[in-house]
Amino acid sequence: MSETLVLLIKIVVVLAWFLVLALLLTWVERKQSAVMQDRIGANRARIFGLRMFGLFQPFADAIKMIFKEDFVPPFADKVLHTLAPFVSFFFVAVAVTTIPFGPTVRIGGTAIDLQVYDGSAGLLFLLAMLSLGVYGILLSGWSSRNRWGLIGGMRGAAQLISYEVGLGLSLVGLIMVYPSLRLSEIVAHQGALFLGFLPRWGVFLQPLGFLVFFITAIAETKRVPFDLPEGESEIIGFYAEYGGLKWGLFMLTDFMEIIVVAALATTLFFGGWQMPWLGPDGLNWPWGGHWKMASWVVVCLQIVSFQVKVAFFCWLQILIRWTYPRIRYDQLMDLGWKLLVPLGLLNILGTGLIMSLK
């Protein structure tokens, strides 16, 4: 099997997984918010009389957006107005290619990494792609020639600048512990044990770093309580002049960012596809004993482990979105610059001191 064909297959599989999961999250958010508010939630869409708990609703929404009129205001910059949602969508879609979904497997004598791009600076590449997504927000607000859209775009840019600093600082301590920017190597480092029974996951070695990372990453998704760029009770947001498929792309990008944050938290702080005490030959209990497993069973368990962790963090982000109220813009800036950035610096200092004492 040629390397080009393997690469194409991996790209198709990863993008299919990414888009289907993002579509499913639109249903999860509706049903989860309905449960929290004692409602039924989306359940009207059905096929052949089957409702399936409203699972057909995302497909009904997609059909509606595809065939809805594509309106561009006459005063807007038509080229940039059309380009903006595709810019946001593209950079988030590219970012997921660096995530390792499982170990290296052998198929027909060919070793295949369950990862599309395993660059030596994969973590920097992923952060760069997520940062470039803000251009879509800026373009949408500016090209709409709408003052509320422009305010939303400027808020999005200011928010990204503020929280990118804290996000980067939260990962410096992690890189000090796992000396690599290659995501596959960071996951491999987390497969060992310390204290005899605990996996060397980032959340155990860098608890403060994980706290700062998770808060700043949620702010990067621009969702409640950090949804100032699209605060519907204050301003209409950067997509004020959008509708139909282009508005749907912005919405889908929001859910794709949830998945990227969940996958990144899983990869960096929760062992990625690693399972505690699961080695290539099966389970090795820390108190002694061994449960031998076939290699294909081990690989399946590791892939499922990654999926379960990602699903948990997606659920957690949606839970936070429907639990906490939106904070004020000045509180948003204060939280980023006066609390999270100093905590990130403190985490780097503490990590350096502990490593120097070893």
HEC-encoded secondary structure of the chain: CCHHHHHHHHHHHHHHHHHHHHHHHHHHHHHHHHHHCCCCCCCCCCECCECHHHCCHHHHHHHHHHHCCCCCCCCCCHHHHHHHHHHHHHHHHHHHHHCCCCCEEEECCEEEECCCCCCCCHHHHHHHHHHHCHHHHHHHHHHCCCHHHHHHHHHHHHHHHHHHHHHHHHHHHHHHHCCCCCHHHHHHHCCCEECCCEECCHHHHCHHHHHHHHHHHHHHCCCCCCCHHHCCCCCCCCCCCCCHHHHHHHHHHHHHHHHHHHHHHHHHHCCCCCCCCEECCEEECCCCCEEECCHHHHHHHHHHHHHHHHHHHHHHHHHHHCCCCCCCHHHHHHHHHHHHHHHHHHHHHHHHHHHHHC
What's the pLDDT tens digit per position in 254-266?
999 999 999 999 9
The Cβ of residue 204 has, within 10 Å, a number of other Cβ atoms equal to 16
Supply the mean pLDDT for the chain: 91
Residue 220 pLDDT > 70, yes or no? yes
Structure tokens belonging to residue 183:
């995501």
Count the Cβ atoms, other than its own, within 10 Å of residue 148.
16
Residue 224 lies in a domain: yes
Residue 117 lies in a domain: yes
At 270, is the pLDDT very low, low, confident or very high (cuts 50, 70, 90)?
Answer: very high
Range of the domain at 132: 72-357
The residue ranking higher by pLDDT, 234 or 89, is 89
Report the pLDDT value the prediction gives residue 253, as an integer from 0 to 100: 94
Q: Is residue 254 part of a domain?
A: yes
- pLDDT at 63 > cutoff 70: yes
125-130 mean pLDDT: 93
Whether the predicted pLDDT of 274 surpasses 90: yes
pLDDT over 70 (residue 1)? no
Q: What percent of the chain has pLDDT over 70?
A: 99
What Cα–Cα distance (Å) separates residue 4 from each residue in 7, 10, 15, 119, 218?
Answer: 5, 10, 17, 17, 35
Q: Any idea what the Cα angle at residue 48 is, between residues 47 and 53, rounded to 5°?
A: 50
Residue 45 scores a pLDDT above 90:
no
Reported as a single tens digit per residue, the pLDDT across 246-255 is 999 999 999 9
Q: Tokens in use for 155?
A: 């808020």
Amino acid sitting at position 118: D
pLDDT at 358 over 80: no
Share of the chain above pLDDT 90, in %: 65
Domain annotation covers residue 38: no
Whose structure tokens read 């980023």?
336
Is 306 inside a domain boundary?
yes
Asked if residue 56 is part of any domain, the answer here is no
Q: Is residue 315 part of a domain?
A: yes
Task: Give the mean pLDDT of 102-128.
Answer: 89
Q: Which of 60-69, 79-88, 225-234 has the lowest mean pLDDT?
A: 225-234
Question: Count of domains in the chain?
Answer: 1
64 within domain boundaries = no
Using one digit for the tens of pLDDT, what is the confidence trace for 8-33?
Answer: 999 999 999 999 999 999 999 999 99
Lowest mean pLDDT segment, chosen from 34-38, 338-342, 343-347: 34-38
Asked if 94 contacts 129 with a C-beta cutoff of 8 angstroms, the reply is yes
Asked if the model's pLDDT at residue 111 lies above 90, the reply is no
pLDDT on residue 235: 66
Taking residues 116-144, what's their average pLDDT? 92
Q: Evaluate whether 220 touches 171 at the Cβ level (below 8 Å).
A: no
Q: What are the pLDDT digits (tens) for 290-337?
A: 899 998 999 999 999 999 999 999 999 999 999 998 888 899 999 999
Instruction: List pLDDT tens digits, range 195-209.
Output: 878 999 999 999 999
The predicted structure's pLDDT at residue 215: 96
The pLDDT score that the predictor gives to residue 161 is 87
What whole-number distance in Å separates Cα of residue 325 and Cα of residue 239? 21
